[in-house]
Structure 1
Amino acid sequence: MSASFPPSPATLLLPGALRQRILSPLADRVGRGLQSLRVPAFTLPAPFGRVVARLPQQPPALALCGALNLALGRILPREDLAALEGRRLRLRVSDAGLTLDFGLASGRFRPLAAHMAADLTLTASARDYLALALREEDADTLFFSRRLLMEGDTEIGLLVKNTLDAVDWSRLRG
């Protein structure tokens, strides 16, 4: 039997069986409530976007590439992304003033200089990217409602969309 130190207030106040009867259902209800939360409709304020647009875009591009590289092989299948090798991708967050240029080189995502044209540009609001990542919205719904814009090589766009649809987010927990 392991005891945590310092003991939580619930441990001190409730005997084991009572704690199990009260806290377990409460934890289940809180968990179900969190699962039903949805990203509210929002748009980042225009002044925020204007300020961010003037900042260097390299640090957020580095962060994005770092996250994508962590996901490679875990939830993003390397073999499916081989067609992206040497291609230039651009991710625009319209209301945040962010434009992130990156690509896949030697099997790793890397930030790229912004002065060259991209093979594929995806544009959406911060809220829509968040809803896409949380699987509240799918790429098709966002695309057909014109909230996700895709410009450039449609074959690459289809590959990116199908890869996002196939991601098994539960594998991140393991």
Structure 2
Amino acid sequence: MNPGFTIPKFRLPAFVASLGQKLPQWPHALVLVAGLNAAHKMKLLPEDELDRLEGKLFRVRINDTGGEASYTYRDGMFRPVFRPDRAPDLAFAANLSAYLQLLARQEDPDTLFFNRELEITGDTELGLIVKNMLDAIEWPSLPLPSR
């Protein structure tokens, strides 16, 4: 990421979420799970903590796009859950800008949570485990494109 670039706080227009909710949600789960499994394969996720996620159901909702993804961690892999049969053990909900700020390390989960930009519901202990895992990720630095 360009050190001079910051992701602004924004909210997409309401019609985007109303359209997004009508679209199939399974692609969101596939993309999220592919990214998590890639991070796992690259050893970016703390191995000792992953066992504590075994069999837990997670949901990530992007409020202003209408997108939602459910997934679980089982047998050493993240797996999509297309039709959850129970409430998630841990659920996250935020606008797209908050997730982008998290990924870019521009904001941390605590700040977003306390500013009411990130909603976390479910098992508190599991939430702390996931938050600590996110904090521990050391993203590889990518070279900036030359001009």
TM-score (normalised: structure 1): 0.76
Structure 2 residue aligned with 1:127, among 67, 91, 97?
A: 97
Percent of aligned pairs sharing the same letter:
43
8 Å contact kept, 1:75–1:171: no
Residue deviations 1:69-122, cap 9 Å, x none?
011042112321111110000001111111111010111011112342100111
More helix by share: 1
Structure 1 residue aligned with 2:32, among 64, 67, 85?
A: 64
**Counterpart-to-counterpart distance in 1, 2:65 and 2:85:** 20
**Counterpart-to-counterpart distance in 2, 1:75 and 1:171:** 12
1:152 pairs with 2:98: no
- Structure ID, larger Rg: 1
8 Å contact kept, 2:63–2:96: yes
Q: How many residues align?
A: 141
1:111 pairs with 2:58: no
1:84 pairs with 2:60: no
Q: SS at the partner of 1:114?
A: coil
Q: How does 1:2-151 map to 2 (within 5 A)?
A: 34-73=2-41, 74-112=43-81, 113-151=83-121
**Counterpart-to-counterpart distance in 2, 1:161 and 1:41:** 21
**Unpaired stretches in structure 1, ≥5 consecutive residues:** 1-30
More RCO (CA 8 Å, sep 6+): 2
Specify the alignment match of 1:162 in structure 2.
132
AA of the residue aligned to 2:96: A
8 Å contact kept, 2:70–2:80: yes
AA of the residue aligned to 1:89: F
**Counterpart-to-counterpart distance in 2, 1:128 and 1:119:** 21
Q: SS at the partner of 1:51?
A: helix
Residue deviations 1:102-147, cap 9 Å, x none?
0101110111123421001111110000000000000110111111
AA of the residue aligned to 1:98: G
